[in-house]
């Protein structure tokens, strides 16, 4: 009878299983990982390579990496002018801080960006900068038009005054991201945000040492097989000694065995037993 002691799943057939651990960890950012805050953005870490990777090298993937680097404060002239127009149009029954902040933020940002940086994708840059500032400002939902407009306009004007700094940061990370995408080690992303690591392999090793799982299957450029005893990647690329998912002192499957996985396993075992009965 076939040996069913191992549950073998093809990563190519079941990519949904390539998920990093959702276990909460207190992670200190390693020096090789730049200034990325893994405690805010660290779950779901994975390596990406080549073409699909380069497509992700956009400002929308750089907001976490640039967070905290541009700290100019909004001018009172900007917030006052914005606030007056906002209050005149405000409907207290339809307050939405995030959307209201984006409405005040994006068009002025796009106009200034296109005037000063005609070669950039200013629409995407505006979404990135405004998303970062609006999330920061709208952590508490305002309950009236005055607070709503003050919050939204502060976020919008803060994004606008930091435009030059933000765009410089985006450009720097974009260059590093595209270079790393072409290297065998690839580029590291966590929660869909690019980690501007100075040394990707050292960064991953340091994260693993702190208990954070990282999906490195893309480095193998071939089919990976996950078993209850670990992971094995075969292919022409480099797996850097990590296997499909890297985690410290790994003795079990690097991914939690979910109900879906167990269901798939049960179906596979059942089918195999039916074949054995027919052959017998």
Task: Provide the terminal-to-terminal Cα distance of the chain, rounded to the nearest Å.
Answer: 10
Give the CA angle between residues 221, 223, 225 to the nearest 5°. Answer: 135
Q: Is the pLDDT of residue 234 over 50?
A: no
Comparing 23-37, 141-155, 245-259, which segment has the lowest mean pLDDT?
245-259
Give the bridge partners for 245, in sequence order. 215
- State phi, psi for 189 to the nearest 5 degrees: -125, 140
Residue 46 half-sphere exposure toward CB, CA atoms < 13 A? 19
**pLDDT at residue 52, rounded to an integer:** 84
Residue 22, token pair as written in the block:
């959702």
Instruction: Write the pLDDT tens digit of every residue in 63-98.
Output: 999 998 999 999 999 999 999 999 999 999 999 999
**pLDDT at residue 228, rounded to an integer:** 31
For the entire predicted model, the pTM comes to 0.70
Summarize the confidence of residues 234-247 as an average pLDDT.
Answer: 44
Q: Is the pLDDT of residue 11 over 70?
A: no
Percent of the chain's residues with pLDDT above 90: 56
Q: Is the pLDDT of residue 132 over 50?
A: yes
**pLDDT at residue 150, rounded to an integer:** 95
Separation of CA 249 from chain center:
25
Q: How confident is the model at residue 236 (pLDDT cuts 50, 70, 90)?
A: very low
Residue 279, token pair as written in the block:
């052959």
Instruction: Write the pLDDT tens digit of every residue in 20-37.
Output: 344 456 888 899 998 888
Q: How confident is the model at residue 252 (pLDDT cuts 50, 70, 90)?
A: very low
Q: Which helix (H) or strand (E) holds 233?
A: strand 230-233
**pLDDT at residue 194, rounded to an integer:** 96
Summarize the confidence of residues 198-212 as an average pLDDT.
Answer: 91
Could you tell me if 45 and 272 are in contact, meaning their C-beta atoms sit under 8 angstroms apart? no
Q: Could you tell me whether strands 45-48 and 214-215 are parallel, antiparallel, or unpaired per DSSP bridges?
A: parallel
Contacts 24+ apart (CB under 8 A), 249-254: 252/228, 253/7, 253/226, 253/227, 253/228, 253/229, 254/213, 254/226, 254/230
């Amino acid at each position: 009878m076939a040996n069913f002691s191992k549950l073998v799943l093809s990563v190519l057939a079941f990519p949904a299983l390539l998920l990093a651990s959702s276990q909460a960890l207190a992670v200190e950012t390693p020096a090789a990982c730049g200034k990325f805050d893994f405690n805010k953005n660290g779950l779901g870490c994975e390596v990406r390579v080549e073409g699909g990777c380069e497509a992700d090298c956009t400002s929308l993937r750089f907001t976490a990496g640039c967070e905290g680097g541009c700290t100019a404060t909004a001018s009172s002239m900007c917030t006052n002018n914005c606030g007056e127009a906002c209050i005149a149009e405000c409907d207290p029954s339809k307050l939405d801080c995030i959307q209201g902040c984006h409405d005040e933020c994006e068009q002025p940002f796009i106009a200034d960006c296109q005037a000063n940086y005609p070669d950039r994708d200013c629409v995407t840059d505006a979404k990135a900068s405004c998303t970062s500032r609006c999330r920061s400002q709208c952590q508490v939902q305002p309950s009236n038009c005055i607070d709503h407009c003050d919050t939204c306009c502060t976020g919008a004007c803060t994004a606008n005054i930091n435009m030059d700094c933000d765009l410089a940061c985006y450009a720097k990370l974009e260059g590093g991201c595209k270079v790393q995408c072409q290297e065998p080690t690839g580029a590291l992303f966590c929660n869909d945000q690019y980690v501007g690591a100075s040394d990707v392999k050292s960064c991953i090793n340091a994260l693993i040492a702190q208990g954070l799982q990282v999906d490195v299957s893309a480095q193998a450029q071939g089919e990976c097989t996950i078993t209850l005893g670990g992971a094995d990647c075969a292919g022409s690329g480099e797996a850097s000694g990590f296997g499909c998912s890297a985690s410290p002192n790994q003795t079990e499957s690097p991914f939690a065995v979910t109900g879906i996985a167990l269901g798939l396993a049960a179906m596979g075992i059942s089918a195999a037993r039916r074949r054995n009965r027919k052959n017998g």
